[in-house]
């Protein structure tokens, strides 16, 4: 099955391809970049990565390195020591502005070049070389693989780093840098030349989204308190002099680089990376900015969107065979369900269904490729519009594969725009009704269809094994009874009244709850029976039986059973043997069902 999330990401990349912009020209190696490269990667906090376009193309990380080196400085030195050297205030200036705070001499923040050079100098190590080796390893722990330096980009950038060289010497003049400024400059330029692809960046962003735990390796890379500090600075300073526009329009902590990359972080849900070398007037990827704005709007990814994270929206999932409906079916129908129910799946969802939660649901269904699905949203509190769109896409995907989904939604949290039409999904008030629908659908697909109004009386275990003579006796003794909707057939606590075989309609067994309310226990269709279990319960009926709609029964009464036992012992032996077989059959089915669910 093809994921609707993948289809959406591909469509939005295509829609943003026409955006203009110019490649960075002040670094010779970047000036030669292919302006038509375009890639998108989205990584979830459980490690799944969607990619579109040139996601494997390598390029230098450039300024996207800044939050990660800042994180390493925080990890090495602690917040107080780093704050003494680098502030956390938005500068409102371009990324390469030559300016420091007039009162403290500190760079405004670690996302501009002055702050990034300072952060590089705060990485633990005796000199620039060991500090850089720690940086390279640190970045690799976020990406989940070993990274390398593009030496051509490093040489090209260092040879033209006149403005950054001036910044480094100014930092040394104000004693923000305490060592050789040229060493700190070279370390910073070298970190900017580390080679990554868009998938790497998405996983690096997802590590921040996941509270500092790398989603694929499961390794804690950064402590939660440092993640909070890094994301806060990214939110207010990561997009330079367009940071205000960005946080208003996109609403995610982000960082851009002049090679054309952008990362964005939606805490608790996803890490996003875009690559396109065409830059806007602020030095940010023009296509990347447009794409992120569109995704934030379409997928409700704005950080200020009210709603709780639900990245583990699938509370439970299990095959239909483990949750058979409370309906006793003829053996032939049950055999069909035993063979095919394992190919259908129940998905229990919970929490607030935002993008990450909807993506998790879609991915689970794509992985399972079920013949039929039951989507149970009884524990879902709220559903974002993007989640509704994703679930409708999931429905289309299932239908294209010849499948269908039933929805358990008693509170109406999902709104089907096709309600009332032939395109609507089947909606149910409770899970048992949805499971019953799936079972009926499986019987239509793989058997003769559900019992419905067909009387499988001849196939009932009480009758099918009888000799012709015994069958004639039993048939003559059976009474034909009819009941209307909700009419009482048997009352709990009443004495054994006989064996009742459903001819048409449905009989429902109920028990009384603590508040006196009726609780649905089991539904019985044509060809099934009830009443005989009282023989094993001191001849007392344990549940009440009501008609669900018009109901027709054949009853072999207690009096008739006693009479046949006394007057026709050979027939009685066959009759009791048949009832014993049926009792063992039902006990075995219940036992197997309990083992499967356990």
The catalytic residue positions are 63, 66, 188, 240, 258
Q: Do β-strands 372-383 and 345-353 pair in parallel, antiparallel, or remain unpaired?
A: parallel
How far is C-alpha 371 from the chain's CA centre?
A: 19
**In the Cβ-directed half-sphere of 330, how many Cα atoms lie within 13 Å?**
27
Rounded to whole angstroms, how far apart are CA atoms 369 and 319?
12
Burial class for 18, CB neighbours closer than 10 Å (0-12, 13-18, 19+): exposed
For tokens 């989603």, the residue is: 215
Structure tokens at 115: 């702050």
Rounded to whole angstroms, how far apart are CA atoms 3 and 311?
17
Positive or negative CA dihedral for 125, 131, 133, 139? positive
Please calculate the CA angle 449-454-460 and round it to the nearest 5 degrees.
100
What single DSSP character describes residue 458? G
Which backbone phi and psi does 478 adopt, to 5 degrees? Answer: -75, 140
Structure tokens at 368: 């399972």
Find the Cα–Cα–Cα–Cα dihedral 208, 210, 216, 219, rounded to 10°.
Answer: 80
How does DSSP assign 342-353, residue by residue? GGSEEEEEEEEE
How does DSSP assign 515-575, residue by residue? TS-EEEEEEE-TT-EESGGGGGTTTB--SEEEEEEEEEEEEEEHHHHHHHHHH-HHHHHHH
Rounded to whole angstroms, how far apart are CA atoms 414 and 152?
54
How does DSSP assign 292-326, residue by residue? HHHHHHHHT--TTS-S---TT-EEEEEEGGGS--S
User: Do 221 and 137 contact (CB within 8 A), yes or no?
Assistant: no
Helix (H, G, I), strand (E, B) or coil at 53: strand
Residues in the chain: 598
Structure tokens at 181: 């400024």
Q: Give Rg (Cα) of the chain.
A: 34
Burial class for 569, CB neighbours closer than 10 Å (0-12, 13-18, 19+): exposed
Question: Which has the closest alpha carbon to 91: 111, 121, 105, 73?
Answer: 111
- Between the two ends of the chain, the Cα-to-Cα distance in Å is 30
Structure tokens at 155: 């040489």
């Amino acid at each position: 099955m093809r994921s609707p999330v993948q289809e959406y990401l591909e469509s939005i990349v295509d829609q943003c391809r026409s955006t203009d912009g110019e490649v960075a020209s002040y670094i010779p190696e970047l000036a030669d970049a292919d302006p038509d490269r375009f890639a998108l990667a989205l990584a979830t906090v459980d490690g799944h990565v969607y990619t579109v376009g040139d996601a494997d193309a390598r390029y230098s990380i450039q300024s996207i390195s800044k939050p990660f080196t800042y994180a390493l400085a925080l990890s090495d030195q602690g917040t107080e020591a780093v704050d003494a050297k680098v502030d956390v205030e938005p500068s409102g200036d371009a990324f390469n502005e030559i300016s420091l705070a007039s009162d403290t001499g500190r760079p405004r923040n670690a996302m501009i070049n002055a702050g990034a050079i300072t952060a590089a100098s705060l990485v633990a190590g005796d000199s620039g070389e060991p500090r850089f080796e720690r940086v390279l390893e640190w970045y690799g722990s976020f990406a989940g693989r070993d990274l390398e330096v593009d030496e051509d980009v490093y040489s090209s950038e260092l040879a033209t780093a006149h403005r950054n060289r001036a910044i480094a010497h100014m930092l040394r003049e104000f004693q923000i840098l305490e060592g050789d400024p040229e060493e700190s400059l070279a370390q910073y330029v070298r970190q900017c030349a580390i080679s990554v692809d868009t998938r790497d960046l998405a996983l690096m962003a997802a590590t921040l989204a996941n509270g500092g735990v790398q989603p694929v390796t499961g390794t804690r890379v950064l402590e939660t308190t440092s993640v909070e500090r890094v994301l806060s600075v990214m939110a207010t300073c990561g997009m330079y002099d367009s940071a205000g526009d960005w946080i208003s329009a996109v609403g995610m902590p982000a960082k851009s680089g002049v090679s054309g990359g952008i990362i964005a972080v939606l805490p608790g849900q996803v890490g996003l990376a875009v690559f396109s070398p065409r830059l806007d007037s602020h030095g940010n990827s023009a296509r990347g900015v447009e794409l992120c704005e569109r995704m934030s709007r379409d997928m409700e990814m704005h950080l200020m969107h009210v709603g709780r994270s639900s990245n583990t929206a699938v509370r439970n999932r299990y095959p239909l065979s483990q949750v058979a409906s409370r309906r006793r079916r003829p053996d032939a129908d049950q055999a069909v369900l035993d063979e095919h129910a394992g190919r259908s799946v129940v998905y229990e969802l919970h929490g607030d269904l935002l993008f990450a939660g909807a993506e998790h649901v879609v991915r689970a269904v794509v992985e399972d490729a079920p013949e039929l699905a039951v989507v149970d949203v009884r524990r879902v509190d709220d559903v974002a519009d993007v989640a509704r769109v994703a679930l409708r896409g999931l429905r289309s995907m299932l239908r294209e594969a010849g499948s269908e989904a039933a929805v358990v939604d008693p509170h109406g949290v999902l709104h089907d725009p096709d309600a009332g039409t032939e395109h609507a999904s089947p909606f149910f008030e409770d899970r048992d009704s949805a499971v019953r629908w799936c079972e009926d659908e499986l019987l239509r697909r793989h058997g003769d269809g559900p019992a419905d109004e067909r009387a499988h009386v001849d196939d009932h275990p009480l009758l099918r094994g009888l000799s012709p003579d015994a069958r004639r006796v039993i048939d003559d003794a059976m009474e034909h009874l009819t009941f209307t909707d909700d009419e009482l057939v048997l009352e709990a606590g009443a004495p054994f009244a006989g064996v009742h075989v459903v001819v048409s309609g449905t009989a429902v067994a109920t028990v009384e709850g603590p508040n006196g309310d009726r609780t649905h226990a089991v539904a019985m269709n044509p060809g099934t029976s009830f009443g005989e279990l009282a023989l094993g319960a001191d001849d007392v009926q344990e549940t009440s039986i009501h008609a669900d709609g018009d109901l027709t029964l054949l009853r072999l009464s207690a009096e008739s059973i006693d009479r046949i036992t006394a007057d026709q012992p050979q027939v009685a032996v066959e009759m009791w043997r048949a009832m014993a077989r049926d009792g063992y059959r039902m006990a075995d089915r219940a036992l197997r069902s309990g083992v499967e669910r356990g």
